[in-house]
Structure 1
Amino acid sequence: MQVFINEQETDFHHISYDEYYFEKYIEGKEISQFEIRIPIKDFNEKMKPKYEELRDELIEDDEKVGENFALELFETLTEYPSYDEILIDTKVNMAEKMGFMNTFFISQIFKEYLNEKNPIYYWIIRGVFYFNQIGDYIIIKGNVQRID
């Protein structure tokens, strides 16, 4: 896995994710861009079963309550996207994909790849706006803020 802050490679231990602080920015603190590159083979091994389990749970919940709460995040879909549809931006546009990912799945990815309680981190993820497979990598992009 490679991590970049403002296009400069950094140690992955220097970036952290905490669900509580996700999408909560500190006013007056500079916002920087991050990019994470994860080899697709590793990502598939770790995340495909988790995604499929999550999707099955959402479908089961929908059937119990007679609603399609999570599916309503997608304007163009009538069923939850497959794992492959989430990876490659073809059937699902980026805005819809990120609405779904940020609500239901991004935390599982970061919990797998980033240590939430890492004692030496300098950057905390505040938001994610891009997730796609490009070649042999999953690319995740978003915003971080430096923690002093």
Structure 2
Amino acid sequence: MDLNKLSLVFKIIIIAIVYIIISLALRIMYKDIKGGDKKNRKRHRKSLGLEIINAGNNSNLRKGAVIPIHGEVNIGRKSGNFIVLDDPYASGYHARIFLKNNDCILEDLNSTNGTLLNGNRVNGRKYLNSGDEIVIGNTSFKVIG
């Protein structure tokens, strides 16, 4: 008789566990369909770009053109860069712009002649905002977005 009661208790526990698993799975599916938990939802990434203000001697850049910033944008004279500058004052790998935690960051890559942000030389990394002006050699960009 004790074995029958114990068997009944285990059956009830197993059924309860199955119901808990099903309810958790349904909850996850519901949140997935509705777009997730609003508290933990990531903010939308900033949509920033670089508008060319002064193209200098760069035949591949056109004044007024906009270059979108997605992930990482490397700027310099070497062909491995995303933006290749034909400028004697630009280093091979001069600067990079990248997104991190929904922020846009400019980093000078130890260039010889430096990178200017709003007229000030960049040392290390600087956060970018819409309207900022970046100067590399004879080429200048405006951050838009």
Q: TM-score, normalised by structure 2?
A: 0.24
Structure with bigger gyration radius: 2
* Structure in which a larger fraction of residues adopt helix: 1
Higher relative CO (CA 8 A, sep ≥ 6), structure 1 or 2?
Answer: 1
